[in-house]
Amino acid sequence: MKLFFLFVLLTINLYGAYGQKSASFKHKLILEDPEKSVLNDNIKVDILIVKNSIEGEVVFTETHVYQIITSGFINLRIGSKRSLEDIEWIDEDYFVIFNIDGMLHSIFKLLSNDFAKQIQTFDDAFTIGYEDNGIIPDLNDFIKDVKFKKPFVCGDKIYYAGQYYATVKIGNQCWFAENLNVGRQIQSGIDQGTNCNDIKKYCYINLNNYCEKYGGLYQWNQLMCGETEEAVQGICPEGWHIPSHDDWTTLERHICEDVGNKDCEKHFLYAEEEEARNWQGITWNKGTNEGYMLKGVSGWKSYYGTNGNGSDIYGFSALPLSACRTNGSFYREVGYKSNWWTSTESRCGNGAWFRLLSYSYNTIVRHAHNKTIGRSVRCLRYID
């Protein structure tokens, strides 16, 4: 299924005091894919106009099929296949709905602003006369942008702070399929603080190109924006949060059970279960091969001749990136380990729990460490 980002500046000029109605409107429709490259493919654009609410009565439908050329836009004529004259523009709310290849893409509210007043050169014969005179109303001339976002479906890419992020559905969770890379880079060894109006990050060996590929490295207090409650939004986009220890456990158990491994509940305990055991035996390797399922298929070092790459069958696409010590040095070169903070503090409160994958084993490490270490971040949202 193709995903499109539709950048639409849209309005329509409804029936005013003159009893005149528009038969069609021109509009430039710009299409880009999530990677910002222009698409060259046939697409179907379904246009609906509904009244009263976005689920109200359909008063107009029209379908266009276009071949997107390298310019990346369509000169659309709304009403070229079916006249808009049949619509009674009364004092109701009207909405235009765009479906791209059968998927709801965007919804815009139409605003009544007395179109007839803008073209007083026409009389009551306006609805058939303006095209005879070569004048076609341009929606952009009367712009009032009202945006209704396309409903997010896990697997869609999302745009956040200047970058697109892949997402992946695993069980009943929706994860970022890549590490977060938000904020401005600072020199490693400098404390990042807690200000989320000025998010700070480290890049491996202080080179930005590593942030672009592997994501930023964040101290726990920075990624939590100074909060300590589990599963807060932190530095993640709205509607997403920093996964807790239990969120990671849900992921681990799902994979364990999904691939048919045994003793999943024994290997991967929730916090309440760990508390009952006084958190004994929580650290280090857990599971069987769940880490192998999360690791990406390339970029991992070999371990004594054994390929360190994973299968990535769930699309989590873990890449091996080092962590940043408090003193500003880095643990190992790229290729050996991946590790991510959770939003769960350790029992003493001075540290927090994290997860780690290694080139040398296929299990998952759960451990607690000092909050001043810079680690990667994945964002999570629940699926209803």
User: Two tokens at 310?
Assistant: 């994973």
Q: Which residue has the tokens 């869609």?
A: 156
Q: How far apart are CA 290 and CA 251, in angstroms?
A: 10
Average pLDDT of every residue of the chain: 80
Question: Half-sphere exposure of residue 264, counting CA atoms within 13 Å on the CB side?
Answer: 15
pLDDT given at position 125: 34
| The two three-digit tokens of residue 255, written as one number | 């994979």
| Pairing status of strand 173-176 against strand 337-345 | unpaired
- List, in sequence order, every residue forming a beta bridge with 63; answer none if it has no partner: 46
The pLDDT of residue 47 is 86
Identify the weakest region by mean pLDDT among 15-24, 174-183, 246-255: 15-24
Q: Which residue has the higher pLDDT, 72 or 329?
A: 329
Q: Is the pLDDT of residue 20 over 70?
A: no
Tokens of 84: 């808009």
The predicted structure's pLDDT at residue 246: 96
SS3 content of the chain, % helix, strand, coil (to 5): 15, 30, 55
Higher per-residue pLDDT: 358 or 89: 358
pLDDT digits (tens, 9 = 90+) for 223-264: 999 999 999 999 999 899 999 999 999 999 999 999 999 999
pLDDT at 136: 58
Question: At residue 16, does pLDDT exceed 50?
Answer: no
Among 303, 261, 284, smallest CA distance to 356 is for: 284
Sign of the alpha-carbon dihedral angle for 370, 374, 378, 380 = positive
Residues 6+ apart with CB under 8 A from 24: 77, 78, 79, 80, 83, 84, 131, 136
Amino acid 283: pLDDT: 58
Asked if residue 187 has pLDDT above 90, the reply is yes
CB distance 363 to 223 below 8 Å: no
Could you give the CA distance from residue 231 to residue 214 in angstroms, rounded to a whole number? Answer: 23
Angle at 220 between CA 170 and CA 204, to 5 degrees: 85
First to last CA, the chain: 22
29 vs 295, more confident? 295
Residue 154 has pLDDT above 70, yes or no: yes
Q: What is the pLDDT of residues 84-114, one digit of tens each?
A: 777 776 667 777 787 776 667 777 777 654 4
Q: Which CATH superfamily is domain 5-142 in?
A: Macroglobulin (MG2) domain (2.60.40.1930)
Question: What is the rounded CA–CA span in Å between residue 91 and residue 75?
Answer: 29
Over its C-alpha atoms, the chain yields an Rg (Å, rounded) of 27
Nearest to 97 by CA among 129, 56, 138, 132: 56
Residue recorded with tokens 């592997």: 214
The CA distance from 313 to 181, in Å, is 24
The region of weakest confidence among 50-54, 137-141, 200-204, 288-292 is: 137-141
Q: Which two tokens stand for residue 367?
A: 């451990």
Whether the predicted pLDDT of 2 surpasses 90: no
Q: Which amino acid is at 296?
A: G
pLDDT exceeds cutoff 70 at 189: yes
Beta strands in 112-217 (DSSP E): 158-160, 163-165, 167-170, 173-176, 184-185, 200-201
Q: Which residue type, as a one-letter code, is found at position 276?
A: A
Give the three-class secondary structure for 50. strand
Structure token digits, residue 382? 């629940």
Largest separation between any pair of C-alpha atoms in the chain: 85
Domain locations along the chain? 5-142, 158-382
The pLDDT score that the predictor gives to residue 164 is 84
- Amino acid residing at 373: I
Cβ count within 10 A of residue 133: 11
pLDDT at 156: 87
Least confident among 118-132, 233-247, 279-293, 363-377: 118-132
In a 10 Å sphere around its CB, with 0-12 CB exposed, 13-18 middle and 19+ buried, how is residue 300 labelled? Answer: buried
pLDDT confidence of residue 10 = 40
What is the 8-class DSSP label of residue 140?
Answer: G
The pLDDT value recorded for residue 34 is 41
Q: What's the rounded mean pLDDT across residues 1-23? A: 39
- Integer Cα distance of 139 and 136 in angstroms: 9
Alpha helices in 177-310 (DSSP H): 208-214, 220-223, 245-258, 264-267, 271-276, 290-294
Instruction: Report how far residue 367's alpha carbon sits from residue 383's, in angstroms, rounded to the nearest whole number.
Output: 27
For the stretch 37-87, pLDDT in tens is 445 567 788 888 888 887 788 888 898 887 755 556 777 778 778 877 777
Is the pLDDT assigned to residue 33 strictly greater than 90? no
The whole-number pLDDT of residue 19 equals 37
- Of 50-54, 273-277, 293-297, 303-307, the poorest mean pLDDT is in 273-277
Q: Tell me which of 363 and 4 has the higher pLDDT.
A: 363
